[in-house]
Amino acid sequence: MALKFPIYPPPQYGGQTQPVKRPKEFACFSYDKDHKFRLDDSSLKWYYPPDLGVNLSNGFDQFIRHDDSIDEHLDSLLKTIASHEQKTGEPIDAHIVTWRGMLTKIMAVPFDDSEFEMNATFYRDSIFVEEHHAFSLAQRQQEVAGRPGRRNGPLPEMMSYWGYKFETLSTLPRPWGETSRDYIENRDQEVVNNKEQYCSVVRTGFGNTIVCLGGEVDAIWDAKPATPGEPIKWVELKTSAEIRNQNEQFRFDRRALKYWIQSFLLGVPKIIVGFRNQDGILTSVQEFQTMSLPYEVQRRGMAKWDGNVCIKFATLFLDWLRLNIKDEGVWRIRRRKGAKDIEVFRVEEVGHGRIITDEFMDWRIKL
Ligand code: A3P
Ligand code: MG
Ligand code: MG
């Protein structure tokens, strides 16, 4: 029997806004150029404005692409948390531990009818939530296969490459002062590699629920503050088709929901969008402040979404999840396309499936 959490129309989540904590980074990790895990900030990138007029398709044949068919579970996040606990000598206080992408899906529910599946398990006072990888992989493959595509237009693989190419064109591997003019001027020649990542691990909150999230951050504006816990000038990089008419503005405003949620969750204050034409030429770059993005979209009045509704929905859902997932076993969290509820049901009666690593459990037992 599935438990059901109802999804009401957005106005029902109006009224008083929910108290939210400011996300604070307490740990981080990197994947290097071979996607090898490192407990440090070695893959951090610095933002530096890209040259306009560059073709984002350049270098596609050399693209070093991460194989996303492998299920990485929560492993890297758990390693980073265990290392933090080793330093402090106590377990983190989060009620929910997950990747940023999972909470992005939850927060978007009131305005997005997409399907998703996740796995969850309760262990020592926390609920650990992972993506149901096989489901998401099949979903991505179907999306690519079903995309109509412009006649003679770019392939979906190419359009996805444009996003990573823009990151390479807009970042430096070291701060500006330590980077050669030569590197800055020849960024178009760099091989694009999406195996490399910097991930921030933050403590944040929704109402009474404390949440630990891990997620990729694209770049930093200047430097990390000297005092831990101070806001960090992160930058989220996005590419988008140029906006030439009302219809294209509407499409952008609708996509901005995900831009906003994604950035909000890790406390990324600035979103930098590279606009490109139909041929993939970078034509302009525009900065958006994450905090004011929802108001900008509301002012135009085209795409109807409200950040406060997303926050309220997530707050209620997480409260409900905590009331229902309280002992061992593996639970499926599922939303079917357009469904008016999120279903939660047990798929394994005992244990924690593959969500939590043995290494992490061994470590927690010692605490
Ligand atoms: P754009 O967002 O500019 O299109 P992120 O913006 O989250 O940092 O992701 C970086 C890039 O990864 C995206 O750039 C896009 O190119 C690619 N990407 C992310 N999710 C994807 C998906 N589901 N399918 C295809 N490409 C994706
Ligand atoms: Mg990214
Ligand atoms: Mg990005």
- Ligand (nearest to CA of 270): 3
Q: Which residues lie at CB < 5 A from ion ligand 3?
A: 218, 237
Determine which helix (DSSP H) or strand (DSSP E) holds 219, and give its type and residue range.
strand 219-220
Percent of the chain with pLDDT over 90: 90
Strand-pair category, 209-216 with 96-99: parallel
- pLDDT tens column, 55-87: 999 999 999 999 999 999 999 999 999 999 999
- pLDDT tens column, 215-226: 999 999 988 998
> Is residue 216 within 8 Å of 195, Cβ to Cβ?
no
Average pLDDT over residues 304-326: 97
The CA 152 to ligand 1 mean position distance, Å, reads 22
| Binding pocket residue ranges, ligand 1, CB within 6 Å | 140, 160, 163-164, 166, 218, 238-239
The CA 80 to ligand 3 mean position distance, Å, reads 22
Averaged pLDDT score across all residues of the chain: 96
Closest residue by Cα to atom 18, ligand 1, is 160
Q: Is 284 helix (H, G, I), strand (E, B) or coil?
A: strand
Rg (Cα) of the chain, in Å, rounded? 21
Which of 153-162, 200-209, 312-321, 333-342 comes out lowest in average pLDDT? Answer: 153-162
Which of 176-180, 201-205, 208-212, 221-225 comes out lowest in average pLDDT? Answer: 221-225
- Ligand (nearest to CA of 276): 1
Question: Which of 67, 68, 158, 160 best tests ligand 1's pocket when mutated (most atoms within 8 Å of CB)?
Answer: 160
The CA 269 to ligand 3 mean position distance, Å, reads 13
Tell me 12's DSSP state: G
Give the integer Cα–Cα distance in Å for 345 and 332: 5
The CA 332 to ligand 3 mean position distance, Å, reads 28
The pLDDT of residue 150 = 62
- pLDDT tens column, 113-151: 999 999 999 999 999 999 999 999 999 999 888 776 666
The pLDDT of residue 229 = 83
Residue 160 Cα: closest atom of ligand 1: 16
Write down the ipTM of this complex. Answer: 0.96
Q: Kindly report the pTM of this predicted structure.
A: 0.97
Tell me 339's DSSP state: -
The pLDDT of residue 151 = 67
Closest residue by Cα to atom 21, ligand 1, is 160
Residue 216 Cα: closest atom of ligand 1: 8
Average pLDDT over residues 287-310: 97
The pLDDT of residue 149 = 62
Question: Which of 133, 238, 240, 264 best tests ligand 1's pocket when mutated (most atoms within 8 Å of CB)?
Answer: 238
Average pLDDT over residues 350-354: 96
- pLDDT tens column, 13-32: 988 887 788 999 999 999 99
> Is residue 2 within 8 Å of 342, Cβ to Cβ?
no
Q: Which residues lie at CB < 5 A from ion ligand 2?
A: 216, 218
